[in-house]
Homo-oligomer: A and B are copies of this chain.
């Protein structure tokens, strides 16, 4: 089985479960919105950065941020260091979603560790982190 597919399966699984957890906690977001939302940093992030991190065009990122802003999960504030830019920030309302997502992720990791063992889990993480060095276009 090719490694692309091997990566795809658990990745899809994680996305599904994290989204389900967040939605279940009462946050009405879609998968695409969630992908943007989870990349907003604690101090706010520029739209362009969000677009790059989520691998979509600025227009798409803007479209999703618009929706999240309307839903009250994000807000745009001027970037004090650059008159052209604006910082996208998570609102109080959405802050509660972050721990929900993190807890679900932690739960999955625990389940995985249970299944494959602590050692393999550490190896997996190490290998993936190193792969990130050559496969992450934005670092």
Identical chains in the assembly = 2
Least CB distance, A52 to chain B, in whole angstroms: 12
Q: A9-B131, A136-B9 are in contact. Are A105 and B2 (CB under 8 A)?
A: yes
CA distance A55 to B132 in the complex (A): 25
Q: Can you list, as one digit per residue, whether each of A81-97 has a CB less than 8 Å from chain B (1) or not (0)?
A: 00000000000000000
Q: Closest chain B residue to A11 by CB distance? A: B7
Choose among B3, B9, B109, B137 the residue that contacts A109 (Cβ–Cβ < 8 A): B3
Q: Choose, from A57-65, A66-74, A118-126, the stretch at the interface.
A: A118-126
Tell me the A residues contacting B by CB distance below 8 Å: 1-4, 6-15, 18, 55, 102, 105, 108-109, 111-112, 115-116, 120-121, 123-137
